[in-house]
């Protein structure tokens, strides 16, 4: 296959991929990324690892 035909084939595939938009199942996406529903309260599982920003600001102003 010549370079022209090969490039045309790649261009066709790229165009199909660019404009292809399958139906998106948003509820499955929410479950996959771990988005809590409206009835559940958000719990930050990383909160204990980092100090609060407010605590750092109050310490900085108190020592200044």
For residues 26-46, average pLDDT = 75
How many CA atoms lie within 13 Å of 27's alpha carbon, on the beta-carbon side? 0
Residue 29 forms part of a structural domain? yes
Number of structural domains found in the chain: 1
Instruction: Determine, yes or no, domain membership for 57.
Output: yes
Distance between CA atoms of residues 14 and 20, nearest Å: 10
Using DSSP's 3-state secondary structure scheme, residue 17 falls into: helix
Give the whole-number percent of the chain exceeding pLDDT 70.
70
What's the whole-number mean pLDDT along residues 6-30? 90
- Structural domain that includes position 59: 24-64
Average pLDDT over residues 12-28: 89
For residue 1, tell me if it sits in a domain.
Answer: no
1 contact partners, CB below 8 Å, separation of at least 6: 9
Q: How confident is the model at residue 62 (pLDDT cuts 50, 70, 90)?
A: low
- Residue 16 is predicted with a pLDDT of 92
């Amino acid at each position: 296959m010549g370079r022209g035909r090969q490039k045309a084939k790649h261009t066709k595939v790229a165009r199909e991929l660019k404009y292809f938009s399958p139906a998106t199942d948003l509820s499955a996406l929410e479950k996959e990324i771990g988005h809590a529903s409206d009835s559940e309260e958000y719990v930050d599982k990383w909160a204990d690892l980092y100090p609060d920003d407010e605590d750092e600001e109050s310490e900085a102003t108190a020592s200044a």
